[in-house]
Structure 1
Amino acid sequence: MNSANQPMSFLFDDFLLQSTYAKTLYHTYAKNLPIIDYHNHLPPAEVNGNRQFKNLTEAWLAGDHYKWRAMRTLGIPEKYITGEAGPEEKFEKWAYSVPFTIRNPLYHWTHLELKRYFDFEELLSEKNAAEVYAHCNQLLQTPDFSTLGLLGKMKVEVICSTDDPIDSLGDHVDFAQKGNSLQLYPAFRPDKAYAIENPESYLSYLEKLGQAANLKIDSFEDLLAALQVRIAYFHQRGCRLSDHGLEQLYYFEGEDYQIEELFTMIRFGKKLSDSESRFFKFKTLQALCRMYFEKGWVQQFHLGALRNTNTYQLRQLGPDTGFDSIGDFDQAKALAGFLNSLEESEQLTKTILYNLNPRDNAIFATMIGNFNGGEIKGKIQFGSGWWYLDQKDGMEAQINTLSNMGLISCFIGMLTDSRSFLSFPRHEYFRRILCNLFGQDVQNGILPWDEKWLGKIISDICYQNACNYFDFSPKNFDLKS
């Protein structure tokens, strides 16, 4: 597809690869590897149902906070972002916005996604918006552009969704029964099980959790029992990971409060103090992590987000609409205490720590070394650049910090953390950046040019380490349960 007088893309074969060594590492050892996307927010029903999107706006703009924030910055009215405007109008506003995203990762991601999925080679702008919209919409109606078709284009082997303990997981089991080559697994996300800030909504959630576990939750002990039932349920249906989104982890050395008394206070609608709330979360998370250890799961902690800062927009649009930012929470001491409490009882399972504040990279990179061991390679991981840090500078900083203070050779690599089926070129973006860093070191005389060994390290980081770290296998599904 070519339009008259439209500038061509900058995304040549050697995009981001600034040395012959980087080019060799990427094209020979990274480019064609499959993808294991072990953390994302894709809807399992849309994978299982092999959804066919009606238009490009539906596939590409819906739910994308990154794009929404950029459009708001440009002064575009909300009706063209999350509001009542039609899909073509919304796309036209996004196309208008793209040239103004120059030097933001959106500029790279947008053009990578258009090129990899739709073979669109030009720079997107309002001038070609109508043509691009028509071209992509036509392709989206074909079988190759269903959700499974889109995943297949990127050679995705495994995806792990993010699922609440009360979820039935019916789509996961149904999808496994179909014998697809793609593997879809759940991941246990129990954030609502300790979201006690609003007692009314928390008690409503406990009722749902109790129904899912077939237990009445009248005590903290009952809460843990219900979570244990749901963990067993998830395990039978292939789950081998948990995930938690927190400002920070919590740790108390002693029994500062009576946990059952705190639970009773919550049941009677009383809001806990900040210290009481942190203690409740600490005891709940600690108990959950011991359950994960018994199942041999990997636990993930996404730390550092300051959420829902704009309360006016929260009331207007709800949560997860683009009004969260990087927080400046203290991480080191409580993180060390929490992990140590599990190590002390020999119940620390494989753990991935994701940092959102770049000032804390060195804290996370050194913390993982405190708890590695147990004859498990890379047992505790400093996770890839997350959210605001999954861009070039953020990924380079994470890779360099981990290289300097840990072993980059043991790193399990990239994930999308996305709600979009068009986001998988982010793996390519990561792989190019990774290869370029290694290539630059060779060119600068910092590393030897041992192509086979460096190629193995690159392949391991991009794919093989994740294969070895996670227990992903169709045998994990108890399809009769």
Structure 2
Amino acid sequence: MKKFLDENFLLQTKTAQQLYYDFAKEMPIIDYHCHLPPDQIAEDIQFENLSRIWLYGDHYKWRAMRANGIDESYCTGNKSDSEKFQKWAETVPYALRNPLYHWTHLELQRYFDIEDILSGDNAMDIYEKCTHKLQTPQFSVRNLLKKMNVVTVCTTDDPIDSLEHHQKIKQDNFEIKVLPAFRPDKAMNADEPEALNNYINKLEEVSGISVDNYDDYLKALKSRHDYFAENGCSVSDHGLEKIFAEDYTDQEIRNIFNLLRNRKAISDTEILKFKSALLFEFALWDHEKGWVQQYHLGALRGNNTRKLKELGPDTGWDSIGDYSQARSLSKFLNKLDQEDHLAKTILYNLNPADNELIASMIGNFNDGSVAGKIQFGSAWWFLDQKDGMVKQLDALSNMGLLSRFVGMITDSRSFLSYPRHEYFRRILCNLIGNDVENGELPNDMKWLGQTVQDISFNNANKYFNF
């Protein structure tokens, strides 16, 4: 019987172990999509205790606690930090076979050198030990990033963000690049005219451009796109149910914008046309600047309206959606490709039923100009677990070039999430190692090792303009 989470965790063969330890383990990390707060990096904060760094903002853990019958006051409510941690620790044993169980113990080991199995019985002992370490300079957020060998971080930022924290980080000559990513989802929110108008008013303030019509709106948004580029941004990101690719005319969009600006109701078709027009414009700007554009597709958000109203978004009420993806995605990419305006693109799907769809779609628009120009993004959110990662890797292997894959992201708000890259690398090495030992791949360690290093770091390092 193997020991839990020992040095060969997830590495089932000698070949897998060699690939991981000789090639993957020491590779740096490029986290090209995450939700880390840049202000905390700029201030190089130290968290007061383990709950503050581990439980605050982590809706993965909140969902598990709720499923375990834990009252909301211990998740997002007013219980003390130690009480919240106690309830999380009591939940951990019930999370067996959930990736949270692995991540929790990997993080305790990698950051705090604690190999104990967390439970309600030892919760306060572990809480005190970790909290004590968090008070030391070595556990400031910048040092946590350095500890995990991170070299580049891309945060997720709205066009109206000032980027002052990114500027502060750069002025400090921090050795890790912390760059913004342009995420204009709120600018497309025609579903809620009141919220969109409030957003436009803020856009006017930060851009200094009066927005009286659609052309003004594009001008103001473009000025922010330019501003992001001036501050080191070379990546955009979109969180969408599906790609919007309705047919429209410029005059239709101008008319729709006027209705929205005057807080008039518009039809569902007009909403789709408005979103389609903006999404296309953003893609043109990305291509013009040589950016990489990312599309996270398939989340069904805000399912529990009672709790959403009470607690707000990103508090754990989202799930996998079953949207039809292929036709609109093909139409959108093809429209850009027809005039050679298709930027390097990463497509992430949240529904595993779409794995083969995405894996086959990227092959339609790889034109030989760049290796892996169109990428099948890593398994994310509900899929960034062992089974989800293996299925994504298998689909990409079967229909594309795994060796050109740009690898893992954290997609996380937590500074303790970087062992997820180790988790991914172990799974990758195990997958290839099993193929070697089954006689499905040659035992050419130089070639396989290079491939593992490329997927772990080198491909992303070449693909992005960092």
Aligned to 1:329: 323
Taking the aligned partners of 1:304 and 1:101, their CA distance within structure 2 comes to 25
CA positional deviation for 1:180? 1.5
CA contact (8 A) 1:162 1:186 kept: yes
CA contact (8 A) 1:197 1:271 kept: no
Task: Find out whether 1:97 has 2:91 as its counterpart.
Answer: yes
Secondary structure of the equivalent of 2:272?
helix
2:103 maps to which of 109, 117, 121: 109
CA positional deviation for 1:61? 0.4
CA contact (8 A) 1:247 1:305 kept: yes
Taking the aligned partners of 2:369 and 2:289, their CA distance within structure 1 comes to 18
Taking the aligned partners of 1:254 and 1:90, their CA distance within structure 2 comes to 51
CA positional deviation for 1:43? 0.5
CA positional deviation for 1:271? 2.8
Aligned to 1:4: none
Greater than 6 Å deviation, 4+ residue runs = none
Relative distance call for 1:200 and 1:280 in structure 2 (3 A) is same
Secondary structure of the equivalent of 2:222?
helix
Aligned to 2:458: 464
Taking the aligned partners of 2:386 and 2:134, their CA distance within structure 1 comes to 29
Aligned to 2:435: 441
Q: Show the 5 A alignment for 1:139-178.
A: 139-178=133-172
1:28 maps to which of 5, 18, 22: 22
Secondary structure of the equivalent of 1:258?
helix
Taking the aligned partners of 1:449 and 1:272, their CA distance within structure 2 comes to 61
Secondary structure of the equivalent of 1:229?
helix
Listed one character per residue, the Cα deviations across residues 425-463 of structure 1 (whole Å, up to 9, x for unaligned) are 000000000000000000111000000000000000000
1:372 maps to which of 366, 375, 378: 366
CA positional deviation for 1:307? 0.3
CA positional deviation for 1:211? 1.4
Relative to the length of structure 1, the TM-score reads 0.95
CA positional deviation for 1:252? 2.6
1:386 maps to which of 362, 377, 380: 380
Unaligned runs of 5+ in 1: 1-7, 473-481
Which amino acid is 1:403 matched to?
A: S
Aligned to 1:202: 196
CA contact (8 A) 1:250 1:281 kept: yes
Relative distance call for 1:326 and 1:249 in structure 2 (3 A) is same
CA contact (8 A) 2:248 2:273 kept: no
| Matched positions, count | 465
Unaligned runs of 5+ in 2: none
CA contact (8 A) 2:47 2:134 kept: yes
CA positional deviation for 1:149? 1.3
Relative distance call for 1:318 and 1:94 in structure 2 (3 A) is same
Secondary structure of the equivalent of 1:180?
coil
Task: Find out whether 1:247 has 2:241 as its counterpart.
Answer: yes
Task: Find out whether 1:76 has 2:67 as its counterpart.
Answer: no
Aligned to 2:117: 123
CA positional deviation for 1:220? 1.3
Aligned to 1:353: 347
Relative to the length of structure 2, the TM-score reads 0.98
Task: Find out whether 1:193 has 2:187 as its counterpart.
Answer: yes
CA contact (8 A) 1:257 1:276 kept: no
Secondary structure of the equivalent of 1:94?
helix
CA positional deviation for 1:272? 2.1
Which amino acid is 1:369 matched to?
A: G
Taking the aligned partners of 1:430 and 1:34, their CA distance within structure 2 comes to 14
Taking the aligned partners of 1:272 and 1:247, their CA distance within structure 2 comes to 20
2:56 maps to which of 46, 62, 65: 62
Q: Show the 5 A alignment for 1:274-293.
A: 274-293=268-287
CA positional deviation for 1:387? 0.3
CA contact (8 A) 2:247 2:273 kept: no
CA positional deviation for 1:371? 0.5
What is the root-mean-square deviation of aligned Cα atoms in Å?
Answer: 1.1
